[in-house]
Amino acid sequence: MSAQATGPETLGSLSDEAQITDPNSKQAKEISGKSPMQIAFARLRRDKIAIVCAVVVLFFVLVAIFADLIAKAFGVDLETVTACEVLECNFANPGVGYPKTGPPFNDFDPSHPFGLAPRTGADNLAHWIYGCRTSLLIAGAATLFASVFGIIVGLVAGFAGGVVDKVLSFVIDFFLTIPFLLAALTIAPIIIDRFGTSDSYETVQIASLIGILSLFGWMTVARLIRGEVLSLREREFIHAARVLGMPTKRILFRELLPNLTAPIVISISLMLPAFVAAEAGLAFLGIGVTGSASWGQTIANAVPYWSNYSLYLWEPLIGVVALVLALNLLGDAVRDAFDPKTRR
């Protein structure tokens, strides 16, 4: 977003001069005593797109959290059904291979609002709801691990400097050079080979996916934080804290970290949709979650049915697109809200 070329933007939104020309100047004056966080939230609240996106994201989060209850309310579940009880198995009938009730060849079936999957006869709604849970669980956990790890590495590297910084920067660069998709493709068979025979295969699969995503997701956060820390550590308040004899730990977490809220929130809000998309992408390639419901997996299964039963493909597709789009726009809005240079 372009800012005015003349002076004020360098002074940030707290500058009185800027707010004279700003339509929001009166409100800005009123909130002048608030913390940057509060200012950001106030800005977010006024952003219509952000509110809509937040509602969409909240909807998906609620679906994920209350998946069991919602599935029960609709009377659907993930249980395997005997395919021929619900699918047309007689070759002489039209629609052989497709559900006996509901789309694509029959009227709406209230007991399966999203229809049934061809081949297996699984309920699409149940898979959609639990797919949402899988998606958010994996993306959420991966974001958490990647950001926490990235923040710690970035803080340490930036603050310690010297050899520690050199080593950590090398590790960051090293991980950036590993092609993510190639690594994921290589690791999947190893996991199958190692844990395929164990009882907890599904859990291992989810854990390994979270592991892979976080392993290749923390570097950008670490770099960002390191850069911020590098510029902050030479500032007066840090020098003051040092002179006062504050322990390093306290400087890191009490002085530096609060000043990094903005970049952290921004990177998290952009990492989340990237992981949702990556999870679906990996599942589509057949190297993600296969044991439990997953949008990407459903999309992979539904592709052959594109021309005959497009609803089957649209459902998970809309889920992924809506969630990723909402998260991305929300992330943008968050970044704008936290960025003091932004004018709106």
For the range 102-108, what are the long-range contacts, defined as Cβ-Cβ under 8 Å and sequence gap of 24 or more?
Answer: 103/309, 103/311, 103/312, 104/308, 104/309, 104/310, 104/311, 104/312
Nearer to another protein, 185 or 230 (CB): 185
Q: CA 190, 195, 196: angle at the middle one, nearest 5?
A: 90
CB of 289 to another protein, least distance (A): 11
Among 21, 25, 32, 93, binds another protein (CB under 8 A): 93
Among 87, 264, 324, 330, binds another protein (CB under 8 A): 87
Length, in residues, of the chain: 344
**Closest alpha carbon to 25 in 37, 36, 12, 16:** 16
Among 69, 84, 240, 318, binds another protein (CB under 8 A): 84
- Establish if 101 lies at the interface with another protein (CB under 8 A): no
Of 120-179, binders to another protein (CB under 8 A) are: 120-121
- Establish if 119 lies at the interface with another protein (CB under 8 A): yes
**Closest alpha carbon to 54 in 280, 267, 325, 335:** 325
Nearer to another protein, 120 or 259 (CB): 120
Q: CA 295, 289, 81: angle at the middle one, nearest 5?
A: 70
Among 1, 62, 89, 318, binds another protein (CB under 8 A): 89
* Interacting span for another protein (CB under 8 A) from 4-12, 90-98, 238-246, 318-326: 90-98
Of 168-197, binders to another protein (CB under 8 A) are: 188-189, 192, 196-197
Of 244-303, binders to another protein (CB under 8 A) are: 286-287, 290, 300-301, 303
- Establish if 310 lies at the interface with another protein (CB under 8 A): no
Number of C-beta neighbours around residue 244 at 10 A: 8
Contact call for residues 139 and 217 (beta carbons, < 8 A): no
Count of residues that bind another protein according to CB under 8 A: 43
Place of tokens 């996991």: 191
- Establish if 90 lies at the interface with another protein (CB under 8 A): yes
- Establish if 220 lies at the interface with another protein (CB under 8 A): no
Question: Reduced to 3 DSSP states, what percent helix, strand and coil does the chain have, rounded to the nearest 5?
Answer: 70, 0, 30
- Establish if 108 lies at the interface with another protein (CB under 8 A): no
- Establish if 201 lies at the interface with another protein (CB under 8 A): yes
Question: Which helix (H) or strand (E) is 134 found in, with range?
Answer: helix 124-160
DSSP 109: -
Residue 340 to residue 343: CA distance in whole angstroms:
8
Contact call for residues 296 and 23 (beta carbons, < 8 A): no
Tokens of 301: 């299964």
CB of 301 to another protein, least distance (A): 4
Contacts with another protein, residue ranges (CB under 8 A) = 80-85, 87-98, 100, 105-106, 118-121, 188-189, 192, 196-197, 201, 286-287, 290, 300-301, 303-309
